[in-house]
Amino acid sequence: MRKPLFTLAALAIGAAFAIAGPAHAQQKYQPEYRLSTVLGTAFPWGKGGERWAELVKEKTQGRINIKMYPGTSLVAGDQTREFTAIRQGVIDLAVGSSINWSPQVKELNLFSLPFLQPDYRSADALMAGETGKLIFKAIEKNGVVPLAWGENGFREISNSKREIKTPADMKGMKFRVVGSPLFNDTFTALGANPTQMSWADAQPALASGAVDGQENPISVFLGAKISAVGQKYLTQWGYMNDPLIFVVNRKVWESWSKEDQEAVRAAAIQAGKEEIALARKGLSGTDNALWKEVEALGVKVTRPGPAELEEFKKLTRPVYDKWSKTIGVDLVKKAEAEIAARK
């Protein structure tokens, strides 16, 4: 029995839509995407996020528009909830810290191992080498698409009480640390009393004397005016360098065309390179302008010598060894080998 012509036509149209459906859905973009950062545009971190949004709009001819939400405001300022919110789709894109995401991605604790990275060349070796690729695979396994590296910087320690030149100087002092158990272990090993709190809570705590000190990159120390809340002693010990990672929620990523995916990736890589250069400006090579700026604020800057740094390393080595097992011994060995090879 022959089917009516209108039925055949309807089937043909339905088949056409079935074939075109996924491609059509792929092109259904949101009017605006939410980008999360911890810090705003007064800091290299926030500048990196802002630059990524600009470059994405430019490279996609306006098809993808991004609005930045600094202060991790999409998760009420709780930095440690950011990665979970990206996975859940509360956040579409982020430029995030390896520290803040380490509770969800254990491999990210690698970068917080005390005194693993002695200089910028070691940081570059990890980000550009096999270690960086393995870290990106670990992030992808957790449902988030990593695209590029940035940098928050080497974290230096400040306090309101006294000069810190050896671990003995830290004994009994209260320090604000980020919400990672590794930091608790590191500061406890050095005889200090670590207190975990978000950055939003840190400055009032410093101002009131609830905590004596904190640790952060110099760009944050200056940008957040930490010297104004009694932090008059700063030690350049470079015990860890905190990379940033440019990521996209997987569902959002898969909703974009291949062309736009590559445009967003290229924008992230470019923004990341620019952000790293900005994060290191005034701190590397012959350019020490930021250190001069710190000293001009009346802050006493202390630089422990090799023998003194060795004391810090010796006391934190058990922490290093303990956390290497959590991170993955093979990954830590790979990182150590790439750092050694940089020379």
Structure confidence at residue 285 (pLDDT): 75
173-226: pLDDT as tens digits: 999 998 889 999 999 999 999 999 888 889 899 999 999 999 999 999 999 999
> Quick check: 72 and 178 in contact, CB under 8 A?
no
Q: Quick one: 198 and 329 in the same domain?
A: yes
Q: Quick one: 88 and 203 in the same domain?
A: no
Residue 202 counted as domain residue? yes
Query: Which ranges constitute the DSSP H helices of the chain?
Result: 5-26, 44-59, 82-88, 98-101, 120-128, 130-141, 181-189, 199-208, 218-223, 250-255, 258-280, 289-296, 306-327, 329-341
Q: Quick one: 79 and 125 in the same domain?
A: yes
Structure confidence at residue 25 (pLDDT): 42
Which residue positions in the chain have pLDDT lower than 50? Answer: 1-3, 5-26
For the chain, what percentages of helix, strand and coil (3-state, to nearest 5) are there?
55, 15, 30
Measured CA to CA, the distance from residue 214 to residue 155 in angstroms comes to: 10
Residue 8 counted as domain residue? no
CATH number of the domain that residue 103 is part of: 3.40.190.170
Q: Quick one: 160 and 144 in the same domain?
A: no
Q: Quick one: 47 and 119 in the same domain?
A: yes
Q: Quick one: 43 and 91 in the same domain?
A: yes
Give 157's strand partners: 215, 235
Structure confidence at residue 18 (pLDDT): 42
Count structural domains, the chain.
2
Residue 12 counted as domain residue? no
Q: Quick one: 104 and 201 in the same domain?
A: no
Domain range spanning residue 95?
Answer: 30-152+243-280
Q: Quick one: 203 and 309 in the same domain?
A: yes
Structure confidence at residue 118 (pLDDT): 95
